[in-house]
Structure 1
Amino acid sequence: MEWQERNGNWVLAPSQPIGIIHFLGGAFVATAPHVTYRWLLERLAYQGYLIIATPFINTLDHKNIALYVLNKFENLLQKLDNNTGLDVKYLPIYGMGHSMGCKLHLLIGSLFEVERAGNILISFNNYPLQKAIPFMDQIIPSITDNIKNNWKIDPNLQFEFTPSPEETKDIIKENYTTRRNLLIKFSNDNIDQTLTLQPILTNLFPNMISTLTLQGNHLTPLAQDIEWEVGEVFTPLDAIGQWVKQSFSKDIYSLEKEVSRWLNPAQYSVSTNN
């Protein structure tokens, strides 16, 4: 399998897919998800999932981004149905997001009529603008002052994401329709807000929300497996290389295992017992 760019999406297609994963990455790394999240997405593709990763550029208007990525995704699905040998019409669709990508999937599931078999929400983040982006508390005053002065905008105007964090919570509470959800947070992630999302979703769909805390940090989903080939003679350098490989890889392996287990518990149980 090789990544292909199709209609503004990056696609990894197994010959006989068992499901579709629509992936949305975090702010700033979402422009090339087939590179930044390569290992995780390729592992899921090898298990039979058709991966559609939609890149986007972050702006303040998150509702508009959600509509943009949804349109890209749905337009591609229609073309896959009509112009390829892939029969995707009846495959279950899962949304999968990391950080800001979680918010986008939550908005998609709240504001638009979509059918999802479930959503996988990793390291959910819904901070206001000045906390979401490092140093923005220093950058915003100079930017906003310049904009207000040059465009004669109300000096009291405050810049914020649309919808704002509080508006996003209200939208989810009132409109979110995807019943089955996997929420994943990492033990060393100080910008994760999964625990603020969990009660909202649990109140909507009791017994349908799974929450896991795994070892790792906010960047764990971007980790790549390190290839280390041992020579004919196992040397101390090989021992160090194997240790580095295990240390860097164990958290992303754990993430992939739990996502796979949730997507298809029966298949995962069979594959691990063989």
Structure 2
Amino acid sequence: MDWKEISGNWVLIPRHPIGIVHFLGGAFVATAPQLTYRWLLEQVAEQNYAVVATPFVNTLDHTAIAKSVLQSFEQAIAQLQATSVLRKRYLPIYGLGHSMGCKLHLLIGSLFSVERAGNILISYNNYAAADAIPLVQQFNPAFAVEFTPSPLETQALIQERYNVRRNLIIKFTNDTIDQSAGLIQVLQQRFPEMVTAKTLNGTHTTPLGQDVKWQTGASFTPFDAFGQWFKQEVYRDLNQLRRTIVLWLNPFAVL
């Protein structure tokens, strides 16, 4: 499988897709998700899910971003249905978000009429603009800025209007900016028994991990042994994340 650019999205299409995953990344790494999240997304595609990763540039207006990425995704799906193996087939659509990408999927599920089989929300955070971009107020403390919707408005929207019933929420043990706990409580109240929460080893940047091709020399040296140990330790958390996502999507997946 090779990445292709379709209607502003980066897309991976397996030969026999069984579902579609719409991916949205974190605020400062979302402009090139096919690079920053390459390993994780390719692992999802290897399980026969078509991956549509929508880039975006962060602004204060998160509602506008949510609308824009949804429109871009729908344009890509329409083109794929007209020209590829997705033609004339119903496939379940799942949202997959990391960090700010979680907020965007939550806004999409609250503000727009979409059909989703479920959402996977990794390292959710819903900070105020002053906390997320403190340099703005350092330059001009009197200039008040806030995201649209604000954190409180976002929480109210989710509580009242979020319509995606099945959700997997993943947080990491060493993630100091994660705000999943409050989200878990809200969603479990809204959709009892439809929300799965997992705490995995890792940090906020674990989903960004990439595979390193460690090439041993003609003879196996202590340096090679250290390299293989390092790779095993680094990718243990990433592989646990992959397994958690894949098994939630398909409990019968062969890993």
TM-score, shorter chain, exceeding 0.5: yes
Question: Judging changes above 3 Å, is the alpha-carbon distance between structure 1 residues 139 and 23 closer, same or farther for their aligned structure 2 residues?
Answer: farther
Matches within 5 A, 1:81-120: 81-87=81-87, 89-120=89-120
Structure 1 residue runs of 5 or longer lacking an equivalent are 145-157
2:16 match? 16
Instruction: Decide which structure has greater helix share.
Output: 1
Matches within 5 A, 1:93-242: 93-133=93-133, 135-141=135-141, 144=143, 158-242=144-228
Question: Judging changes above 3 Å, is the alpha-carbon distance between structure 1 residues 126 and 240 closer, same or farther for their aligned structure 2 residues?
Answer: same
1:58 match? 58
Query: Take 1:101 and 1:141, find their aligned partners in 2: how far apart are those partners?
Result: 28
Query: Take 2:170 and 2:98, find their aligned partners in 1: how far apart are those partners?
Result: 9
Superposed displacement of residue 27, structure 1 = 0.2
Across the two proteins, how many residue pairs are aligned to each other? 255
**Length-normalised TM-score, structure 2:** 0.96
1:223-248: CA deviation from partner (whole Å, max 9, x where unpaired): 11211123342210111110111122
One-letter amino acid matched to 2:188: T
| Percentage of identical aligned residues | 58
One-letter amino acid matched to 1:86: L
* Contact 1:131–1:137 (CA under 8 A) maintained in structure 2: no
**Length-normalised TM-score, structure 1:** 0.90
DSSP 3-state at the match of 2:127: coil
Query: Take 1:140 and 1:251, find their aligned partners in 2: how far apart are those partners?
Result: 40
1:141-177: CA deviation from partner (whole Å, max 9, x where unpaired): 38x3xxxxxxxxxxxxx31000000000000111001
Structure 2 residue runs of 5 or longer lacking an equivalent are none
RMSD: 1.4
One-letter amino acid matched to 1:180: R
| Structure with max Cα Rg | 1
One-letter amino acid matched to 2:70: L
Question: Judging changes above 3 Å, is the alpha-carbon distance between structure 1 residues 189 and 56 closer, same or farther for their aligned structure 2 residues?
Answer: same
